[in-house]
Amino acid sequence: QLMQSAAELRKPGASVKVSCQASGYIFSDYGIHWVRQAPGQGLEWMGWISPYNDNTDYARTLQGRVTMTSDTSTSTVSMELRSLTSDDTAIYFCARHSMRYSGSYGAFDIWGQGTVVTVSS
Amino acid sequence: DIQMTQFPSALSASVGDRVTITCRASRSVSTYLNWYQQKPGKAPKLLIYSATKLQSGIPSRFSGSGSGTDFTLTISSLQPEDSASYYCHQSFSVPPVTFGQGTTVAIK
């Protein structure tokens, strides 16, 4: 399973870091994607990281503001988003990629419970 | 980027009805198409992967079909607990991962 950190409240311009701890499988074998959902909206892909080799890909719309890291000692992936605006208010989900050592061709078979991030002055 | 267009955006049907949701890709994604169900306040749940394969633990009333650019998700006999939003997702051309805009299914 994937267990995410608690809800966060930030002011505009600040940063937030959300964590996602994996258990029950070999952490380094499967990539982790981040997906967010603004209130009343659909799913938006943010990027992914391979805990195997720390390779990352980010959505073009977030390039320069987002960083994803992994820590194999704690089986945890983290996502940091900087220069927050009200448009970043959303639920942030981590999700496991179903294919080993890959970020494509598979599905998101295990999801975290979601972390609510609210950006407000 | 591959654009995913889902329709209808919302539908209302009665218990026992057959429901079909369509997802169209802007170019071929082969069979790398997945479907998710999401209930309010919850994480999405994988229903169908690789266009036609039923995820473990998902009721057999859910099925998927299609390849290339046109895909469908079918609920053969709608149940009250199927009231949710449904999303398609292509994993063929990554990055970026892309999702359909979602279909909300309501029970009459």
pLDDT along chain B (108 residues), means of 10: 96 98 97 97 97 98 98 98 98 91 97
Q: What phi and psi, each to the nearest 5 degrees, are found at residue A113? A: -80, -10
CA distance A69 to A58: 12
Q: In the A/B pair of chains, how many CB contacts fall below 8 A?
A: 68
How far is C-alpha A6 from the chain's CA centre?
13
CB B84 within 8 A of CB B37: yes
Smallest Cβ–Cβ distance between B102 and the set A42, A48, A104 belongs to A42
User: Helix and strand tally (H, E) in chain A?
Assistant: 0, 11
CB B59 within 8 A of CB B20: no
* % of chain B exceeding 70 in pLDDT: 100
Q: Which residues of B touch A93 (CB under 8 A)?
A: 43-44
Residue B39 identity: K
pLDDT band at A102 (very low <50, low <70, confident <90, very high): confident
Q: Which residues of A touch B101 (CB under 8 A)?
A: 42
Pairing of strands A44-49, A30-37: antiparallel
Sheet holding B19-25, edge to edge: B4-7, B19-25, B70-75, B62-67
Nearest-neighbour CA in chain A from B45: distance (Å):
8
On whether any CB of chain A is under 8 Å from the CB of B50, the answer is yes
On whether any CB of chain A is under 8 Å from the CB of B71, the answer is no
Whether residue B40 has a cis bond before it, omega within 30° of 0: no
**pLDDT (tens digit, 9 = 90+) per residue, A58-89?**
999 998 999 999 999 999 999 999 999 999 99
Other C-beta atoms closer than 10 Å to the C-beta of B103 total: 22
CA distance A103 to B85: 25
Return the structure tokens found at B40: 């309010």
CB contact under 8 A, A106 and B91: yes
Q: How far is CA B42 from CA A9, A14, A19, B25, in A?
A: 20, 27, 18, 26
pLDDT band at A101 (very low <50, low <70, confident <90, very high): confident
Smallest Cβ–Cβ distance between A112 and the set B32, B43, B92 belongs to B43
**pLDDT (tens digit, 9 = 90+) per residue, A6-46?**
999 999 999 999 999 999 999 999 999 999 999 999 999 99
Residue B41 identity: G
